[in-house]
Amino acid sequence: MWRKLQILAACRPRSLCTAPGATIFALSSGRGRCGVAVIRTSGPASHQALRSLTAPRALPRARRASLRLLCDPRSGAPLDRALVLWFPGPQSFTGEDCAEFHVHGGPAVVSGVLQALSSVPGLRPAQAGEFTRRAFAHGKLSLPEVEGLADLIHAETEAQRRQALRQLEGELGQLSHSWAETLTKALAHVEAYIDFAEDDNLEEGVLEQADQEVQALEVALGAHLQDARRGQRLRSGVHVVVTGPPNAGKSSLVNLLSQKPVSIVSSEPGTTRDVLETPVDLAGFPVLLSDTAGLREGVGAVEQEGVRRARERLEQADLVLAVLDASDLAAPTSREFLDTVMAPLVSQDPRGSSQRLLLVLNKCDLLPAEGPHPQPWSHPHLLLSCLTREGLDGLLGALRKELAVVCGDPSTGPPLLTRARHRHHLQCCLDALGHYKQAGDLALAAEALRIARRHLTQLTGGGGSEEILDVIFRDFCVGK
């Protein structure tokens, strides 16, 4: 039944759903059988909802858990013995009156309580993200905090969780708020000059002061924009592409790292043709690991297509894992790979390219125990055996280091930009500051500052359009 109620909510027209004054309810914990399920309400009829289900008892004390027998208000039939909480607004998650019912998590209990709530006048099922949207509308959360909350709910790895939590704590919002204040001050100086330039009482050097403030802000914004998209990468996953000549052990390595049989492993060269992508949590970082066709020339049409796809994927990689057969470095395919693929990668200007590279020499179990280690390339390499797992710890350590470079440490340093939306507003703000410097007259300069400031306010959600809000809240599930 509660599923049906959610479908009902999804079908309602927007005007009805977002109408202020309606009291919404939803299951806020996960679906399925569980120990405890949390159902909550938000809106002016929340106290009515609590009273109706817990009659004849009075409202519990605010923000204190109380044990109550829940009954269906229509039939009086008992539904469950549950903990209930009462959060009078504005001291609640949404800023409105809220109630919570912590019931036993069986589907029949949950559906019984949801049906009982739907019978209380003034209550209707919540839409996806509607609780958070109300919190935003009542100034409880800024837009970056809302985004942080969405990311926290979706976080699958430790590093993603740390980054989302920082954003939820509002660091990016506070930072852009302080930048907006700087611009307000600069704008006040410029406007004062426009209005009172002739006035002797005007402090000297007001325009120079505004220029200095703008310049300092330009530097700060520039530094944030030059973050190599670390925050975005951490949010959406780092692209790690495994490449190398045929038969080097690429698929074996993908299976080893993902701990599942993603790719077929075979001694027959050219087994892997399609790009096989699998999400992996590597040392707390979210990785999209791609296995690709072995790179070689002069093969049939299907394998050629595989090689084309492999090259295409290689270009999109944040981190390249190049795999070679340590016991077969003199083979023509190994040499060709080193000359045609590795050489351009290694010679890339490290500042110009954000692609990282790890060279792995696999099948080290086939090397003679005594004797010199292979040195195929000036680039440092790691020895590994996918067969015996020798060298795996070393590889995992190296991967952790590389991923920390690609994603940055989400716990330290300035808050990272986690979305293209943040980057867009900061870039537009920076562009407007450029116009300020080039402005031919003071009126244009003041207008440029206003535009720059507007972008910072939009970043935190002020003056954001409905469409943008819709996109952001779409990430939420019903009950959030």
Q: Contact positions toward ligand GDP, by CB under 6 A?
A: 244, 246-252, 265-267, 271-272, 294, 362-363, 365-366, 385-387
Q: How far is CA 75 from CA 57, 78, 382, in A?
A: 17, 9, 71
Closest CA to 430 of 214, 209, 206, 178: 214
Sequence letter at residue 217 = L
Name 69's Cβ contacts closer than 8 Å, sequence gap at least 6.
54, 78, 80, 81
Q: Which does 333 bind (CB under 5 to 8 A by kind): Mg ion, ligand GDP, none?
A: none
Instruction: Please state, in angstroms and rounded to a whole number, the distance separating the CA atoms of residues 418 and 11.
Output: 31
Instruction: Please state, in angstroms and rounded to a whole number, the distance separating the CA atoms of residues 64 and 88.
Output: 11
Q: Which does 28 bind (CB under 5 to 8 A by kind): ligand GDP, Mg ion, none?
A: none
CB of residue 380 vs ligand GDP: minimum separation in angstroms?
19
Q: Which does 314 bind (CB under 5 to 8 A by kind): Mg ion, ligand GDP, none?
A: none
Q: Which does 246 bind (CB under 5 to 8 A by kind): ligand GDP, Mg ion, none?
A: ligand GDP
CB of residue 303 vs ligand GDP: minimum separation in angstroms?
11
Considering all CA atoms of the chain, what is the largest pairwise distance in Å, rounded to the nearest integer? 89
Complex with ligand GDP: residue 8 or 302, whichever CB lies closer: 302
CB of residue 345 vs ligand GDP: minimum separation in angstroms?
18
Tokens linked to 52? 């109706």
Closest CA to 362 of 245, 214, 228: 245
CB of residue 263 vs Mg ion: minimum separation in angstroms?
5
CB of residue 212 vs Mg ion: minimum separation in angstroms?
59
Q: Which does 273 bind (CB under 5 to 8 A by kind): ligand GDP, Mg ion, none?
A: none
Complex with Mg ion: residue 246 or 410, whichever CB lies closer: 246
Closest CA to 473 of 25, 128, 126: 128
Sheet of strand 356-362: strand arrangement: 276-282, 285-291, 238-243, 319-325, 356-362, 381-383
Place of tokens 């952001």: 472
Place of tokens 């696999």: 362
The interface region with Mg ion, picked from 90-98, 248-256, 295-303, 362-370 by CB under 5 A, is 248-256
Complex with ligand GDP: residue 149 or 253, whichever CB lies closer: 253
Closest CA to 53 of 8, 3, 118, 9: 118
The interface region with Mg ion, picked from 214-222, 268-276, 388-396, 402-410 by CB under 5 A, is 268-276
Which of 251, 333, 362, 385 contacts Mg ion by CB under 5 A?
A: 251
Which of 176, 255, 272, 355 contacts Mg ion by CB under 5 A?
A: 272
Complex with ligand GDP: residue 259 or 438, whichever CB lies closer: 259
Q: Which does 237 bind (CB under 5 to 8 A by kind): ligand GDP, Mg ion, none?
A: none
CB of residue 373 vs ligand GDP: minimum separation in angstroms?
16
CB of residue 375 vs ligand GDP: minimum separation in angstroms?
19
Complex with Mg ion: residue 42 or 263, whichever CB lies closer: 263
Geometric angle at alpha carbon 474, from 86 and 131, rounded to 5°:
10
Name 253's Cβ contacts closer than 8 Å, sequence gap at least 6.
242, 321, 323, 360, 362, 384, 386
CB of residue 256 vs Mg ion: minimum separation in angstroms?
13
Contact of 103 with 82, CB cutoff 8 Å: yes
The interface region with Mg ion, picked from 74-82, 179-187, 195-203, 272-280 by CB under 5 A, is 272-280
CB of residue 450 vs ligand GDP: minimum separation in angstroms?
58
Complex with Mg ion: residue 341 or 456, whichever CB lies closer: 341
Instruction: Please state, in angstroms and rounded to a whole number, the distance separating the CA atoms of residues 154 and 235.
Output: 9
Complex with Mg ion: residue 189 or 273, whichever CB lies closer: 273
CB-neighbour burial class of residue 106 (10 A; exposed 0-12, middle 13-18, buried 19+) = middle
Q: Are strands 98-105 and 34-42 parallel, antiparallel or unpaired?
A: antiparallel
CB of residue 365 vs ligand GDP: minimum separation in angstroms?
5
Complex with ligand GDP: residue 167 or 252, whichever CB lies closer: 252
CB of residue 275 vs ligand GDP: minimum separation in angstroms?
12
Q: Which does 362 bind (CB under 5 to 8 A by kind): ligand GDP, Mg ion, none?
A: ligand GDP
User: CB 173: neighbour CB atoms within 10 A?
Assistant: 23
Instruction: Please state, in angstroms and rounded to a whole number, the distance separating the CA atoms of residues 149 and 424.
Output: 21
Complex with ligand GDP: residue 141 or 386, whichever CB lies closer: 386
Write out the H or E segment, with its range, that includes residue 10. Answer: helix 2-11
Complex with ligand GDP: residue 230 or 250, whichever CB lies closer: 250
Complex with ligand GDP: residue 276 or 407, whichever CB lies closer: 276
Residues near Mg ion, by CB under 5 A: 250-251, 271-272
